[in-house]
Structure 1
C-alpha cells in the first residue's frame, strides 16, 4: 500500500454493497470516529512512531548497504490459519439468463470457518542506492516524482558515473489499456556500467522521508513501477533494422572471424527447432551480435548510484 511507503499508518474502509446506503455511511462514520478517538488517547505515541520511521528512512539513504534489501513483490504460501467469516446464508441456482450458476444471498447471518492465507514470501527485493539518476528527457517520470513531494536535484554539468541499472528481456504488453496505459511485463537483469549523463539530469537523493516512494516507482521489479505502468515503453522499440541480403554477408564474415560464435550458432540450430526453422531469427542472431545493433534497446535509462557524488555537480536544485 501507499501509506506504508510514506511511513504513515493507513486504514482502508470498505463497506459491503449488500448493506443499505444508511448502514454503509454510518459504519464508515463510526469507524473513522473510533479511529480518531483511539489516536487522541495517546497522540504523541503516533507522532513519535512517524518521526522515528522518517528518521530511519533518511538514515538508510545516507550510506549504501547492499545487504539491506526491501521487499518489492510478495506471493502467498500454502500456509493458512482458520478464520471465522461473518456471512449470510445463501444458495445457488442455474441462471436462465447467463446459463451459469448464480448465488442467491439470504438475510440470515451465518458464521463460516474459512482458511486465511496470511503467510507471504518475498519474490523480489532491492537495496536502496544513494541516488537514482534520470535523464532530463523523461519529463513525465520527473513530474510524477515531484507530485509525490520528492526533493530532486539536477546535474549542473555532464557527468560520467559508475551506475547500476537493468537490461530487460521477454517484454510483453497487455492486450488492452488500463487506466489509459499499456502495462508491461518483463524480465530484468542487473547491469553495472559507466554512463555519461547530460547536464540537467535529475538526481533523486534517497536520504529523505519519501525515499520508499522513489524506490517502488523506479525499481522495475516493483508491481507499480514506472516501467510496469508503461512510462518507459519507448526503450523497448527497435528503431533500426538490417536487410536480409546484407546480414547474409555479414553473418558469414562474423563466423569466419569468430570460431566461438560459429559454434554457438550451429549448436543453436541443432538444439532449437523453432530457431532453426526461422530464417529471420537466424539472421537476427548475428544482427544482435554485430556492431550495428542498438545497445540502448531494452536498457533502462535510469541509473542507481551507490557511491558519494562530488558537490560541484549537484549545485542545481529542481
Structure 2
C-alpha cells in the first residue's frame, strides 16, 4: 500500500497471514520471529478509491491512488522524509528495528511471461557479509517461487531504452529515496517485490501471497544467523576511519546475453502519436536473447571523514530534526571557537528545471579542502562511530544522490545575494591591475588562451570581483563541514 493503486500486497498479506495463523502455511514461523504488517502505508491514496486509478495494470476493478493527499510519492521519500506518513513509518522502524523489510508493488512495463521480480539489498551494496545473506534470501525466495510455477526475475525488468526489448536490462542499486536503497544503509535487509502489471489481479495476489510465505519461512530458518551478521555489520559500519565509501552505483558497460521469456512483437510507427510503438502478440510466446548489464559497481565514492560532520548552529534545528527521524546519533557543541575542518566549495551547480517532489534539486561538483573556520556554540556534531554511519554519509555528503543538499535543502548557500556594480568593478579592476603585476599577467594569459572568457564582459569583471575583499567567501560554500577530531 505504499502505492495504493498497486494494492496486491494488502490482499496477499491478509491471505498469507490468515493461512499462517491457521497453521496452513509457514508452520512454526511465527514462533521464531515477529512480523509487523502494514497493509496500508499510503492511507490517503488508499481512500481515493475508484476505477482506472491505475490504468497501467490489469485489475482490480477499483483501486487507490499512487500518491498521498499532499501528492507525495512515498517511495521517493525514505531519506528526505517530508511526508507525515513516512515520518510515522520511520518511527515504526525505530521502535522495532527490523532485520528485514519487504516492500510489495506491481510494476509497469512491457508484456512478457515473467510474472514477478525479487530484488534485495544488500546484494550489490552494503556490508560484505550481509550481501551474502541478502543473496541467499533472494535466491531462496526465487527458488521457492519457481517450484510453484512462477517465472521470477532477480532484477527490475525495465528496458534500457524505453519500449525497446532489444535494448535489454541494466541492474543497479536504487538511491535511498527508495526502500531497497535505504535499508542497506542501516545494515538491514530489504526486498522489493514487483508483480507484473500485465498479469490479472488474482494471479498477482496469489504469487505475492506465495512470496510472503516464502519470506517468513526463510527468515524463520535463517533469521538468528542473519541477525548476528546485522549486529556485526553495525559494529563495522561505525569504524570507517577515512575509508572510501560508495554513495551511488551503476551497472558497468559489459553485458551478457540472457534468455528472456517474452512474446512476439513488432515495432511500427503509431498513427495516433506518431512515435515508434511496440505491440506484443500474447498468443505467441517467444524467447528473447537480449543483453543484461549486471556488473554493478560504485559510481560515486568518497573517503569518509575520520571523525564525523559538523552542522553549523544556523542549520541545527532543521538538520537535527531530520537526523532524529532516522535515529542518527548526534550532540550539540557547547563551546564555540575556531577549528580545523574540511569545507566543500562547489565549482559548478545545476538546479533541476522543474519541481521534484516539491523540491528544486541540486547537483554540484567540487572537493573537500582543509580550512580553519569558526564553529558557533549550538552547532551539531554528527559522529561516524555509530551503526548508521552509511546513513549519515548518504544525508550529509554533498555528492550523495539523495543528500539534503541534493534535495535542495541548502540552495540558499548557492545563490549570490550581494554584487558589485559594473561601474564599480571597472574602477576596482584598474586599481588591482596597477597594484598587482602578477594579477595583471594572469589576466593577460586568460584573455590570450580563453576565447570564451575574452568575449564575456561579465566574466572579465568577475575575474577581479572574485579576488577583491568584498567578494562573499561563503558563496557556494556548503554549510556542513567535516572533521577528523571530535569537538
Q: How does 1:154-169 map to 2 (within 5 A)?
A: 154-169=332-347
Are the equivalent residues in 1 in contact too, given 2:348–2:366 (CA < 8 A)? no
Query: What is the CA distance between 1:96 and its match in structure 2?
Result: 1.5
Are the equivalent residues in 2 in contact too, given 1:73–1:122 (CA < 8 A)? yes
Between the aligned partners of 2:377 and 2:280, the Cα distance in structure 1 is 63
Query: What is the CA distance between 1:306 and its match in structure 2?
Result: 0.8
Q: How does 1:172-187 map to 2 (within 5 A)?
A: 172-187=350-365
Between the aligned partners of 2:373 and 2:189, the Cα distance in structure 1 is 39
Which residue among 370, 376, 383 is the counterpart of 1:205?
Answer: 383
Length, aligned pairs only: 304
Q: How does 1:269-308 map to 2 (within 5 A)?
A: 269-308=447-486
Question: Hey, what does 2:323 align to over in structure 1?
Answer: 145
Question: Hey, what does 2:49 align to over in structure 1?
Answer: none
Q: How does 1:237-252 map to 2 (within 5 A)?
A: 237-252=415-430
Q: Secondary structure at the match of 1:15?
A: strand
Q: Secondary structure at the match of 1:114?
A: strand
Question: Hey, what does 1:83 align to over in structure 2?
Answer: 258
Between the aligned partners of 1:16 and 1:137, the Cα distance in structure 2 is 48
Question: Hey, what does 1:44 align to over in structure 2?
Answer: 224
Q: Secondary structure at the match of 1:245?
A: helix
Are the equivalent residues in 1 in contact too, given 2:311–2:479 (CA < 8 A)? yes
Are the equivalent residues in 1 in contact too, given 2:308–2:384 (CA < 8 A)? yes
Are the equivalent residues in 1 in contact too, given 2:383–2:486 (CA < 8 A)? no
Between the aligned partners of 1:124 and 1:160, the Cα distance in structure 2 is 31
Are positions 1:16 and 2:196 aligned together?
yes
Between the aligned partners of 1:90 and 1:5, the Cα distance in structure 2 is 41
Between the aligned partners of 2:312 and 2:387, the Cα distance in structure 1 is 23
Query: What is the CA distance between 1:195 and its match in structure 2?
Result: 1.1
CA RMSD of aligned residues (A): 1.6
Query: What is the CA distance between 1:98 and its match in structure 2?
Result: 0.5
TM-score by length of 1: 0.91
Between the aligned partners of 2:374 and 2:195, the Cα distance in structure 1 is 52
Between the aligned partners of 1:168 and 1:13, the Cα distance in structure 2 is 39
Question: Hey, what does 1:316 align to over in structure 2?
Answer: none
TM-score by length of 2: 0.60
Are the equivalent residues in 2 in contact too, given 1:141–1:231 (CA < 8 A)? no
Unpaired segments of 5 or more residues in structure 1? 310-318
Between the aligned partners of 2:239 and 2:363, the Cα distance in structure 1 is 33
Are positions 1:265 and 2:443 aligned together?
yes
Question: Hey, what does 2:313 align to over in structure 1?
Answer: 136
Are the equivalent residues in 1 in contact too, given 2:312–2:480 (CA < 8 A)? yes
Question: Hey, what does 1:119 align to over in structure 2?
Answer: 295
Between the aligned partners of 1:265 and 1:75, the Cα distance in structure 2 is 41
Query: What is the CA distance between 1:255 and its match in structure 2?
Result: 1.2
Which residue among 180, 201, 213 is the counterpart of 1:33?
Answer: 213
Between the aligned partners of 1:230 and 1:21, the Cα distance in structure 2 is 39
CA change 1:92–1:224 in 2 (3 A) is same
Query: What is the CA distance between 1:221 and its match in structure 2?
Result: 1.4
CA change 1:114–1:142 in 2 (3 A) is same
Structure of greater relative contact order (alpha carbons < 8 Å, 6+ residues apart): 1
Query: What is the CA distance between 1:105 and its match in structure 2?
Result: 2.1
Between the aligned partners of 2:409 and 2:218, the Cα distance in structure 1 is 41
Unpaired segments of 5 or more residues in structure 2? 1-180
Question: Hey, what does 1:104 align to over in structure 2?
Answer: 279
